[in-house]
A and B are shown apart, each in its own frame.
Chain A
Amino acid sequence: MATVNWRTINIDALDPDSPANFDLSSLSPAVQPVSAADVQSLAGQIRQLLRGGDSEGALQGALENPPYGGDEKAKEVHLATVIEILQSIRQADMSPILSRIYSAPGGSEALDVLMKYIYKGMAQSNTSAASTSRNLTPQATGFSQIHSRGGGEGGGQAMSVLLSWHEKLVEIAGPGSIVRVMADRRTV
């Protein structure tokens, strides 16, 4: 008797028509490839705007050019840029800025991108807080702001900023934008 448990055989792998055997890239929308260098230079321009006090322009610029086609490194860099902008904006200014972006053409798309970054930021600050508390050597990532505060406290602070952005954003863009973060195959 064969000892193979036939219930655990992956029958899809044996079927030439099965989804395991075709190219999945055709299922996702086409995205423009972006190089890490381009993202870096964009981050530089956005920081310039931020230093000039135009945080709204910086946010808009960052949200209009998400590096969907970039590699992990590029996405990391852009995430750090967006988080930096979010942390630089005061709580009282959040809602007015968001409603101005929403009413601009393509605004709903921009706010969906922002929602993606808020969720990614939350996931990120969790893991970074966990990793720093486990091994105390600070790790070099693109995350200067959070790490400079060090340890779990910095993660908590970043989280509270992201949570208040999340609250304001749902007020304007509705739960539809949360659903789009989950459904969208273009990840940031």
Chain B
Amino acid sequence: MAPPEVNHLFHHPIADHSFSADRQTLAVARENNVDLFERSGSKFQLKDELTGHDKTVTGVDIAPISGKIVTCSQDRNAYVWEPSPEGWKPTLVLLRINRAATCVRWAPSETKFAVGSGARLVPVCYFEEEDNWWVSKHIKKPIRSTITSVAWHPNSVLMAAGSTDGHARVLSAFVKGVDARPEPSAWGERLPFNTVCGEFLNNTAGWIHSVAFSPSGNALAFAAHDSTLTVVYPSAPEQPPKAVVSVSTQVLPFMSLLWSSESEIIAAGYNCEAYRLQGSEQGWQLAGSLESKGRPGVQDQREESALNMFRQMDLKGKVTDDTKLKTVHQNTINTIRVYEESGGNVTKVSSTGVDGRVAIWAL
């Protein structure tokens, strides 16, 4: 396995990141701004800064086809940034929420996006041609606490939301005039806005950090703060799911997860490394870490000159520097995203975390 490509961007936590479809532009949320990096060789060069939010930016997402960037922040606003000859042009989206926005994701159709918030609702925003204005519609009903993550079904109508009330929910975000009527699926047949297609709770009701639909959309995975990962396979509309598989891991909780194929999930979080989980309806298990232990780079760093060794002993009273983690990331991984796909399978993923590093992993 090739070693990951690691870039240390800055000494600030990265709340969220997103690559453009051509993988040349990287947007990262850094404090109140979004930094746009341009790839030059193996490095990333700071190209542009999207300033406008006046509190910490919590989510950023680049639409793969249109290239529009959506950002959301603790200042309760979202902006849609469009490229123009004079640079990036922001459009304010009124979310009408009274608490911070926590996360944002474009629907695969790119005609709307969903924002998670601390106001116990999910604004689903779409562009109203007539008024030349982004409008938000609230999904409210069963949500009892902060939404920590949102994820879209491939049909752009269904949406999953993970909440600190311990529930992962599958909801309909059907907007008349924007979406075509969706094909009936195992999640539901008729799907008017705010239909609750499923509410799932794991054994311990730990709060949810991340949710994701499988590539086909026929399974939902969520990671909770009790170090578990739960996969739900729905059977038919209004019926209990045909399988709910929960894996209690020995490691610290996962903050982010993605499906690399129908039978594999990559998850990463407080353990500072990414893990591979494999399974099916019959069961899931932790299949190992993406880090190759004892990478050559680690040994190289350890090999030091005699002078350096004695200096270390004199200064710190020890030979080896044990303040460094053996993992690539030196702190919690906040987000992992698909970087490259081929033939329906994910071949590369990118991760960012509290340590300000971005790493690209070959699977």
Q: Which residues of A are in contact with B by a Cβ distance under 8 Å? A: 17, 19, 22, 26-29, 108-109, 112, 173-177, 179-180, 183-186
Contacts and interface: CB of A to CB of B under 8 A. Distances in A.
B201 A174 contact: no
B203 interface: yes
Nearest to A109: B248
Given A19-B145, A27-B144, A180-B226, A185 B250 contact: no
A174 B204 CA distance: 17
Most buried by B among A109, A173, A185: A185
Interface of B: 120, 140, 144-145, 165-167, 201, 203-207, 224-228, 248-253
Contacts of A26: 144
Given A19-B145, A179-B226, A174 B250 contact: yes
Given A26-B144, A27-B165, A174 B251 contact: yes
The B interface, classified by DSSP as helix, strand, loop or mixed, is: loop
Contacts of B226: 179-180, 183-184
Contacts of A176: 227, 248-253
Nearest to A184: B204
Nearest to B252: A175
A177 B250 contact: yes
A22 B227 CA distance: 28
A26 B227 CA distance: 22
A109 B228 CA distance: 12
Contacts of A29: 201, 203-205
Nearest to A111: B248
Nearest to A175: B252
A185 B225 CA distance: 12
Given A179-B226, A180-B226, A186 B252 contact: no
A17 to B, nearest CB: 7
A112 B248 contact: yes
Nearest to B227: A176
A184 B205 contact: yes
A185 B164 CA distance: 12
Contact of A185 (B120, B144, B205): B205
B206 A180 contact: yes
Given A27-B166, A179-B226, A186 B251 contact: no
A22 B252 contact: no
20 contacts: A19-B144, A22-B144, A27-B144, A27-B166, A29-B201, A29-B204, A29-B205, A109-B203, A112-B248, A174-B249, A176-B250, A176-B251, A176-B252, A179-B226, A179-B227, A180-B206, A183-B204, A183-B226, A183-B253, A186-B203
Contacts of B144: 19, 22, 26-27
Given A17-B120, A28-B205, A179-B253, A185 B248 contact: no
Contacts of B140: 17
Most buried by B among A28, A173, A175, A179: A179
B249 A183 contact: no
B103 to A, nearest CB: 20
Contacts of B165: 27
A183 B202 CA distance: 11
B281 to A, nearest CB: 18
Contact of B252 (A19, A28, A179): A179
A186 B206 CA distance: 10
B227 A19 contact: no
A185 B252 CA distance: 18
Most buried by B among A26, A174, A176, A184: A176
Nearest to B225: A183
B105 to A, nearest CB: 25
A27 B164 CA distance: 10
Given A19-B145, A27-B144, A183 B250 contact: no
A163 B43 CA distance: 48
Contacts of A19: 120, 144-145
A179 B225 contact: yes
A175 B251 contact: yes
